[in-house]
Structure formats: structure tokens, C-alpha cells
Amino acid sequence: MNPLDRRKRLAAFAKELKAGKPITKEQTQYLVNVFERISKGEDANRVLGVANSRGRSEKDALARQELSMIFHWVACAIEIDPTTSRELSLEDALQQAHKLFKYKHDLKYLRDKWYEHKPMQSPLRTWSEPDSPFYP
């Protein structure tokens, strides 16, 4: 899981705590583990998983989120185009998304990535999925 996804999960957890929702045994054990490791001198960002590992950057994670947003739009457009109330072909949806999002790579790259990322092809997506562009 990339650091941006972990940050979203931490934000959702904080929101639950703020609302007074009781925490589960698993969440309690997670917190115990986190505090024990930090108390022993480990870096909090590393323990919480919010720091990028070697060779990874926030820019990479943001690029995957951007691709995820584009593919969510494409998946929805294939289901039904709100401007015409008709389904679009995959090719038409990819072309429109490429223009709409002003995507930096060419259309062939976008098409290739579409076939590589099957989980991103669903119109029904949640914030907790890997590389999701949505927030809780």
C-alpha cells in the first residue's frame, strides 16, 4: 500500500475516533504495536507507513491516482454517457477521457494501461481501494 493510501486510512480512523466510535480489538492491537515501535525509537513515518520507500515517490502515487480517476471516468462512460444517455465504446471513452483530463501520455499508453489495471475498470469504486482517487 502506498503512503497516500495509508494517509487516507489514518484520516478515516481519526474521523471515527473523533466521532466517538469505539475501536475494535484489531485497531487497539495496531495502536499498541505502533506506539511500542515508536517508543523504541523507530521513525513514526516509517512505522505508520506514510513515508515513501526507496525508489518510490509521492509523484508516482499521485500519477497512479490520476490514472485511477481517468479509468473510473472511462468505466462510467462505458456504462452510460450522461451527455447523450447512451453507452460509449471503450475507444470513444478513452479518447474523451484523454482530452478531458489533458492526460500527458499518448492515447496508446492510456489504452495499454487500461488493460493492465483490471481492478480500476469498475464504475463502482471506494476510497479504500489501492490508488483510489477518492477520500473518506
Residue 81 has pLDDT above 70, yes or no: no
Mean pLDDT (whole number) for 28-43 = 95
CA distance 69 to 71: 5
Mean pLDDT (whole number) for 61-65 = 86
Mean pLDDT (whole number) for 44-53 = 86
SS3 118: helix
The better pLDDT of the pair 39, 104 is held by 39
Residue with the three cell numbers 513514526? 44
- Which alpha helices (DSSP H) does the chain contain, by range? 3-18, 25-39, 44-48, 58-79, 90-100, 107-116
Mean pLDDT (whole number) for 18-30 = 94
pLDDT at 84: 66
The percentage of the chain sitting over the pLDDT mark of 90, rounded to a whole number, equals 47
Name the pTM for this structure.
0.66
Mean pLDDT (whole number) for 107-118 = 92
The better pLDDT of the pair 43, 56 is held by 43
pLDDT at 85: 66
